[in-house]
Chain A
Amino acid sequence: MSDSIVFSPVTARPAPHRTQGISAWARTNLFSDWPNSIATVLLLMIFAWYLPQLIDWAVLKAVVRPDVDACQAAAHAGACWGVVSEKYRTILFGRYPYAEQWRPLAAVLLMLSLVGVSAVPRMWRWYLLPLWLAGMVLFVALMGGSVAGLTPVQTNLWGGLPLTVLLSLGGMTMAFPLAILLAMGRRSTLPVLRTLSSLYVELIRGVPLISVLFMASFMLPLFLPQGVKLDVLIRVLVGIGLFSAAYMAEIVRGGLQAVPQAQTEAAQSLGLGYWKTHGLVLLPQALQAVLPSLVNSFIGNFKDCSLVTIVSLYELTGALSLALGGDVVWRPFFLEGYLFVALIYWSFCFGMSRYSMRLERRLSRSQART
Chain B
Amino acid sequence: MSIIEFDKVNKWFGQQHVLRDIDLQVEAGEQVVICGPSGSGKSTLIRLVNRLEAHEEGRLVVDGITIDDNAKSIEAVRRKVGMVFQQFNLFPHLSVLENLTLAPVWVNGTAQKDAEAQAMQQLERVHIAEQAHKYPLQLSGGQQQRVAIARALCLSPRIMLFDEPTSALDPEMIKEVLDVMAELATQGITMLCVTHEMGFARSVANRVIFMDDGQIIEEAPPTDFFDNPQSARLQEFLSRIL
Contact of A367 among B79, B107, B137 (CB under 8 A): B137
Residues of A within 8 A of B152 (CB): 269-270
B185 at the interface (CB under 8 A from A): no
- Residues on B with beta carbons closer than 8 Å to the beta carbon of A266: 83, 85, 89-91
Verify if B200 is at the interface (C-beta below 8 Å from A).
no
- Taking a contact as CB atoms under 8 Å apart, the answer to whether A268 and B102 are in contact is no
CB contact between B85 and one of A265, A280, A367 (< 8 Å): that residue:
A265
**In contact, A368 and B137 (Cβ under 8 angstroms):** yes
Kindly name the residue among B78, B82, B90 whose own CB sees the greatest number of chain A CB atoms within 10 A: B78
- Report if B151 contacts A (CB, 8 A): yes
For residue B85, which residues in chain A have a CB less than 8 angstroms away from its CB?
Answer: 262, 265-266
How many chain A residues touch B (Cβ–Cβ < 8 Å)?
Answer: 24
Pairwise interchain contact A269-B106, C-beta atoms closer than 8 A: no
Which residues of A249-269 have CB atoms within 8 Å of chain B's CB atoms?
A: 262-263, 265-269
**Complex Cα gap A201–B52 (Å):** 31
Q: Mark A344-370, 1 if CB is under 8 A from B, else 0.
A: 000000000000000000010111111
Task: Name the residue among A270, A367, A368, A369 with the largest chain B CB count within 10 angstroms.
Answer: A270
| Cβ of A225 under 8 Å from chain B | no
Contact with A along B50-82 (1 / 0, CB 8 A): 101000000000000000000000010011011
Q: When chains A and B are docked, how far (Å) is the Cα of A285 from the Cα of B85?
A: 20
CB contacts (< 8 Å) of B184 on chain A: these are: none
Asked, given contacts A266-B89, A270-B151, A285-B92, whether A369 binds B107 with beta carbons under 8 Å apart, the answer is no
Q: How far is the CB of A234 from chain B (nearest CB, A)?
A: 36
* A262 and B89 within 8 A (CB): yes
Query: Which residues in chain A, 269-299, are within 8 Å of chain B measured between CB atoms?
Result: 269-273, 276, 280-281, 284-285, 288
Residues from chain B with a CB closer than 8 A to the CB of A268 are 50, 52, 78
Decide: A288 near B93, CB < 8 A? Known: A262-B85, A265-B85: yes
> How far does the Cβ of B168 sit from chain A's closest Cβ, in whole Å?
12
B81 to chain A, nearest CB (A): 8
> Are A263 and B78 within 8 A (Cβ)?
no
Contact partners of A267 in chain B: CB under 8 A: 91
B155 within 8 A of A: yes
A265: chain B residues at CB < 8 Å are 52, 85, 89
B40 interfacial contact with A, CB 8 Å: no
Asked if residues A370 and B102 are in contact (CB atoms below 8 Å), the reply is: no
B174 within 8 A of partner (CB): no
Using known A-B contacts A369-B137, A369-B138, determine if residue A280 contacts B92 with beta carbons closer than 8 Å. Answer: no
Contact assessment for A284 and B79 in the assembled complex, using a CB-CB cutoff below 8 Å: no
Bound state CA distance, A280 and B107, in angstroms? 12
Smallest CB separation, B28 vs chain A (Å): 20
**Complex-state Cα separation, A272 to B91, whole angstroms:** 13
In the bound assembly, the distance between CA atoms of A267 and B91 in angstroms comes to 9
Task: State A219–B135 Cα separation when bound (angstroms).
Answer: 52
User: Contacts A263-B91, A281-B91 given: A270-B78 contact, CB under 8 Å?
Assistant: yes
A280 touches B102 (CB 8 A): yes
Residue ID in chain A nearest B80 by CB atoms: A271
Kindly provide the distance from the CB of B161 to the nearest chain A CB, expressed in whole angstroms.
8
| Cα A77 to Cα B205 with chains together (Å) | 91
Question: Does B87 make an interface contact (CB < 8 A)?
Answer: yes
Tell me which of B81, B103, B138 contacts A272 (CB under 8 A).
B103
A284 to B92, CA, bound (A): 10
| Residues A284 and B93 in contact in the complex (CB < 8 Å), given A270-B155, A271-B78 | yes
CA distance A284 to B95 in the complex (A): 13
Complex formed: what's the CA distance from A284 to B78 in Å? Answer: 23
Chain B residue numbers with a CB within 8 Å of A365 are 135
Known: A262-B87, A270-B107. A367 touches B92 (CB 8 A): yes
> Which B211-227 residues sit within 8 Å CB-CB of chain A?
none
Distance, CA A267 to CA B82, complexed state (A): 11
Which of B93, B102, B137 touches A270 (beta carbons < 8 Å)? B102
Q: How far is the CB of A184 from chain B (nearest CB, A)?
A: 18
Once bound together, how far apart are the Cα atoms of A366 and B89, in whole Å?
A: 15
Q: How far is the CA of A281 from the CA of B81 in the complex (A)?
A: 20
> Is the beta-carbon distance between A263 and B107 smaller than 8 angstroms?
no
**B52 lies within 8 A of A269 (CB):** yes
Given contacts A270-B103, A284-B93, 5 further A-B contacts (CB under 8 A): A262-B87, A267-B91, A270-B102, A271-B75, A276-B106
In the A-B complex, the 4 residue pairs with the smallest Cβ-Cβ separation, listed nearest first, are A266-B89, A270-B103, A271-B78, A269-B83
- What residues make up the interface of A, taking CB atoms closer than 8 Å to B? 262-263, 265-273, 276, 280-281, 284-285, 288, 363, 365-370
Q: Contact residues of B with A, CB < 8 Å?
A: 50, 52, 75, 78-79, 81-83, 85, 87, 89-93, 95, 102-103, 106-107, 135, 137-138, 151-152, 155
What would be 19 A-B contacts, judged by CB atoms less than 8 Å apart? A263-B89, A265-B89, A266-B91, A268-B78, A269-B82, A271-B75, A271-B155, A272-B103, A276-B106, A281-B91, A284-B93, A285-B93, A366-B93, A366-B95, A367-B92, A367-B137, A368-B137, A369-B137, A369-B138
